[in-house]
Amino acid sequence: MNYRIPTLSNVPFRVLPTLEDLGRGRAEVTLRVRNDIPNTSCAANIILSLSVPKSTAAASLEAIPSVAAQARSAEFIASEHRVQWVLKKFQGGSELAFVARLTFHPWASPPLKTEFGPCSLDFEIPMYSVSSLQVSSSSSSSSSSSSSSSGGCIGRGRGSGNREGEVGVVGGAAAAAVVRGGQSQQQQQQQQQW
């Protein structure tokens, strides 16, 4: 997901970084990641990545608490100057800390704080809708006026505040979703202003 948020809003994750200089060409970066989705859901295929200074020679990576059963990998990618953790699953309502202990080349000058970052977090949240619009039923119909054999379907759903909306999906392999309704008048006005 890519987020563009003009105001403060609820985002699925919060990342709190801390940087500690350990002296003698070493530093420790801790990324605390809080999963703010409901605890009934979980995120999948999470990739947490942090750019590190070019003078980084080695890195020791760990996750706290240990997520060995969930972790696919934790690695320092020297050619791209970044560290990366990959998780299979991250339960909603929980928090993990990712620690990178970095060692820098002895010939390099100490890195500046601005050389760390940015941090990126890629994830999937199956069966979770940020807009709170849920499809409660759907029906399928084929379109005979179309030159291709693509069909379509329309469904009804409810969003937050019991607002009803319609969801229409058209096309074959390159399907597109259209959402009508399901938003308050205030949200529709805000979108028109942008």
Domains of the chain: 13-124 (2.60.40.1170), 134-193 (no CATH)
Residues 84, 86: Cα–Cα separation, whole Å: 7
pLDDT tens digits, 136-192: 666 666 655 444 444 444 444 444 444 444 443 333 333 333 333 444 444 444 444
Pairing mode, strands 56-64 and 95-104:
antiparallel
Residues 63, 178: Cα–Cα separation, whole Å: 40
One-letter amino acid of 154? I
pLDDT value for 99? 92
Question: Does the structure show a pLDDT above 80 at 50?
Answer: yes
Span of 31-45, 52-66, 143-157 with lowest mean pLDDT? 143-157
